[in-house]
Structure 1
Amino acid sequence: MIEVLVVDDDTRVARVHAAYVEKVPGFHVAGEAHNAAEALWQLQTLPHLDLVLMDHHLPDDTGLAVVREMRRRGHQADVIMVTAARDVSTVQAAMRHGALQYLVKPFAFAGLRAKLEAYARLRRTLDGGGEAEQAEVDRIFGTLSAAPEPELPKGHSPTTAGLVRQMLMDAEGPLSAQQIADRTGLSRQTAQRCLKFLERTGQARLTLKYGDAGRPEHRYVWATRV
């Protein structure tokens, strides 16, 4: 489970962001903070934090100042800036201070979910250890610039689409709609609709498996594996 600290000066916004985080499989909100001092205190008392969603405009300091101080104190939690600050100088400073992502408020759930899922993929890759060839290095850095996921068409369930998406990401090879249905308990028709959506949005690629007779079987693979 990826433990997250949500930092925002607006308590209502913090609750909304925390609710968004809890909706993404594999993430858990360990705490909230509404100013710089509270954020640093939470970092001190929650030693196993993995990720901080950091607002920039805080009542007693800036989010970037908090990031500088947490690094000075030896805190290694990753940071995604979540802020209304749009000026290029703040964005550049965030990059220099090691923020992995920068998400401009306001945003929909899909925008934050895409960032969190990209972060989760990055952690899975890095946790594998070993040495990386150039293609693997490119893929690691590519997860950091993942674009926000398009909104689901009407009638598509985010939960169902997320389940199918996870199956493809975790699979060792291409999967058919029937294989997805068998592994998830979804109907074949539902799995097929989700797979077609993922293909249209560039998240999955269609491959064909030819048998001895009849039409080829449609199978799908997560796009980063192609």
Structure 2
Amino acid sequence: MIEVLIVDDDARVARVNAAYVEKVPGFHVAGQAHDAAGALRRIEALPGLDLVLLDHYLPDETGLAVIREMRRRGLQTDVIMVTAARDVSTVQAAMRHGALQYLVKPFTFAGLRTKLEAYAQLRRTLDSGGEAGQAQVDHIFGALSAPAAPELPKGHSPTTAELVRRCLMNAGGPLSAQEIAERTGVSRQTAQRYLKLLERTGQARLTLKYGDAGRPEHRYVWAARG
């Protein structure tokens, strides 16, 4: 069984990611942490920990700082970054610090499952031991580079998803689908679909606004920083 630590500053997002991990055969969530200090404590304390799914935006330090401190302490637990940080400099730094993979939020269960299954395959290859010829070396280095499953459901555009995500993230408060539509130029129905996707992946939280009469208005607020 591959033991996994989930590190995310948002407890709700951490629970979503943990539920995803538990659905993949051969993986078990050993614990959760919501800041860098807590992550380092859990990594040192958990026996047999194999993998950390690590957010970059943490309240006390960055995910990259966590990896640096892990290596300074001699902690060789594998790391896959799972974060909304998209700038190339962060991705490059994660690679140089030894992160095995980098999964950008928001993502679907299929997107995470692909990364985890590739990691499991890598572990099986490495556990076989012995000497490696060039073909075996190529297989090891390519194990986590398998084509990823689509990170968005069929019919969803990455460009539109990012447009709605940024609009909600920068809003500073709850917005309705209609307000998102007006700010982004998409239709209300399209805005609603992408808001529901953000809610399912833990990036947005649904709130209800009650008026004098009739059904409450559905409003969404940004729920995760990273």
TM-score tier after normalising by the smaller chain length: 0.5 to 0.7
Unmatched segments (≥5 aa) in structure 1: 155-226
Equivalent in the alignment of 1:173: none
Amino acid at match of 2:110: A
Name the residue aligned to 1:35.
35
Separation of aligned partners in 1, 2:49 and 2:148: 24
The one-character-per-residue Cα deviations of 1:115-152 (angstroms, maximum 9, x if unpaired) are 0000000000000001111111111111111222258x
Kindly indicate whether residue 84 of structure 2 is the aligned counterpart of residue 84 of structure 1.
yes
**Which range moves more in the overlay, 40-49 or 87-96?**
40-49
The residue type paired with residue 87 of structure 2 is D
Tell me the alpha carbon deviations over residues 79-102 of structure 1, each in whole angstroms, 9 at most, x when there is no partner. Answer: 000000000110110011000000
Aligned: 1:60 with 2:63: no
The code of the aligned residue for 1:55 comes to: D
Q: CA RMSD for the aligned pairs?
A: 1.6
The C-alpha deviation readout for 1:62-109, integer Å capped at 9, x for no partner, is 001001111111111100000000001101100110000000000000
Distance 2:107 2:51 in 1: 19
Query: Per chain length, whose mean CA-contact separation is higher, i.e. which structure has more relative contact order (CA < 8 Å, sep 6+)?
Result: 2
Q: Secondary structure at the match of 1:9?
A: coil
- 1:112 corresponds in structure 2 to 112
The whole-number CA distance in structure 1 between the counterparts of 2:62 and 2:146 is 26
Query: Structure 1 vs Structure 2: percent identity of aligned residues?
Result: 81
TM-score w.r.t. length of structure 1: 0.65
What is the aligned residue count?
A: 153
Q: Secondary structure at the match of 2:59?
A: coil
Partner Cα separation in structure 2 for residue 144 and residue 95 of structure 1: 13
Amino acid at match of 1:75: L
Change (3 A) 1:143 1:5: same
Q: Report the equivalent of 1:137.
A: 137
Distance in 2 (alpha carbons) for counterparts of 1:48 and 1:75? 12
Quick one: distance in 2 between partners of 1:47 and 1:95? 26
Counterpart position of 2:26: 26
Cross-structure match for 1:100: 100
* 3-state SS of paired residue (2:32): strand
Letter in 1 for 2:34: H
Distance across 1 between alignment mates of 2:53 and 2:112? 10
Alignment correspondent of 1:196: none
Structure 2 length as normaliser, TM-score?
Answer: 0.65
Structure 1 runs of 4+ aligned residues shifted over 6 Å read none
Distance in 2 (CA, whole Å) between partners of 1:115 and 1:138 is 18
Q: Which runs of 5+ in 2 are unaligned?
A: 155-226
Q: Distance in 2 between matches of 1:82 and 1:94?
A: 11
